[in-house]
Amino acid sequence: MEETPKKQSLIRRLCGSTLLWIVLFLIAFDCFLISVRPLQYVQVRGLLTADQEPLNDKLESLYSAINKPNMIILGSSLPMHACFEADWLAANKPQWPTNYISRHTGSEYLNSLFSKNFAQPIHGYNLGMPACMISDSEEIFKDVLAHKIKPKILLITVAPRDFIDNMAQPVGNSRYSRFFADRRDGLNLSLAKKAEENTEELLNHAWRFFKVRADYSRTIEFIVCSSLGRASNIFNAATGRGYKRDQLSEITQGMTTAPYQDPEPGTRSASDDLVVYRKRYLPFNEKRLSTELNHLNALLAMARQNNILPIVVSMPIHPQNLALLSNLEQDKTFASIAQVCADNNTRFINLSDSNNYANNDFSDSVHLRSQASKRFFDELISALETDSTFSPQLSQLCSNNSKRIASK
């Protein structure tokens, strides 16, 4: 009987503890930040936060999906835009937010073409990512296979930049390599591990914890300093690195979710785009070409080893963009890609210089607009239809998959 009043008194003291409520509030607030990730809606030029990495969203969605896709699409922002544009137009221009482009995982229009022309239920998953090199695509696909996902088809889209980009980080130090290095599926501590291994696991998670909070610090600093038009510290003030008030528009525009509209031809300024691509292409980087070709070879071999049918297709790009490379450099690039594909018994479809695209089919010098994106996928399917071996291979893969499902 005496313990009841004591317990009640303890509960009252705990409920009346300011410190306890502060701790509970901080825990709840941290859970909110982890689940909602508000920084993904903020766009600041030159700042890519951990919460803004679209690859993380795409992979999480893929790994948590109940029905796994049977086709994976790899490549740079070219297929990423093409899938989005074609799906957006095929869906009768829905009110999709503009910042959804890099997170769009569907390929519904291409799926419908496969079903219509090959009578096979294909569910594609768009893993195209901005500025992705072939070596990055290989790393992404390794992670997909590591999560026990084995599609029937691996569609690899390529362009010259994916092999010779002078502005790209060295292999192993790219944005996506750093993403995989920082990314952890969960805290994996075990008594069976050595103390050093458990310590490293804890430090990796602590690094991620503080990295995300540093992103919030930098973003808040940008908003406050831009609002006031002041530098963030004495050093920046002395060196003229203050923020301007009009820079705040970069954040407010990033926070909006205005419905997507098909850009007019040259909206992203093809001339300015060509200036950037001249730096990417020239001088012609034969060493990087050789390195990326080795990664393409490894990617195709990986697909074959896992009984996955690889297809390599070169995306259409603006003639002025392609003309930045000499005829000899173009021939060397595409002939090398074709040779690697031939060595791995893989079909290579080169649409880079297709005559079916005019200047107004591009929003800049490389990205296709909506009608042109649909035309690209139409051309791809037409090319596959002319391949007498593709349809039987696809039917065999689908048949093998059906037998595995039935046996389970």
DSSP element (H, E) containing 314: strand 309-314
Instruction: Please report the pLDDT score of residue 237 as a whole number.
Output: 67
d(CA 45, CA 42): 10
What would the pLDDT profile of 317-365 be if each residue is shown by its tens digit?
999 999 999 999 999 999 999 999 999 999 999 999 888 999 899 999 9
Instruction: Answer whether 368's CB lies under 8 Å from 265's CB.
Output: no
Ranges of the chain whose pLDDT falls below 70: 1-4, 6-8, 34, 40-41, 43-51, 183-189, 201, 204-209, 211, 235-258, 264-270, 400-408
Helix, strand, or coil (residue 153) = strand
* pLDDT on residue 383: 95
Cβ distance 75 to 132 under 8 Å?
A: yes
pLDDT of residue 2: 52
pLDDT computed for residue 407 by the predictor: 47
Q: Which two tokens stand for residue 342?
A: 């031939």
The three-class DSSP label of residue 157 is strand
- pLDDT value for 405: 46
CB contact at 8 A, 258 and 97: yes
Rg (CA), the chain: 25
Per residue in 237-275, pLDDT (tens digit) is 666 655 555 554 444 444 455 677 777 665 555 678 899
Can you tell me the distance from the alpha carbon of 250 to that of 245, in angstroms, rounded to the nearest whole number? 10
For residue 337, give Cα distances in angstroms to 76, 81, 159, 293. 16, 23, 10, 7
- Token pair 């595995």 is found at 404
Which positions ≥6 away from 201 have C-beta within 8 Å? 184, 187, 188, 189, 193
pLDDT score at 22: 86
Per-residue model confidence (pLDDT) at position 52: 74
Phi, psi of 352 (to 5 degrees): -65, -35
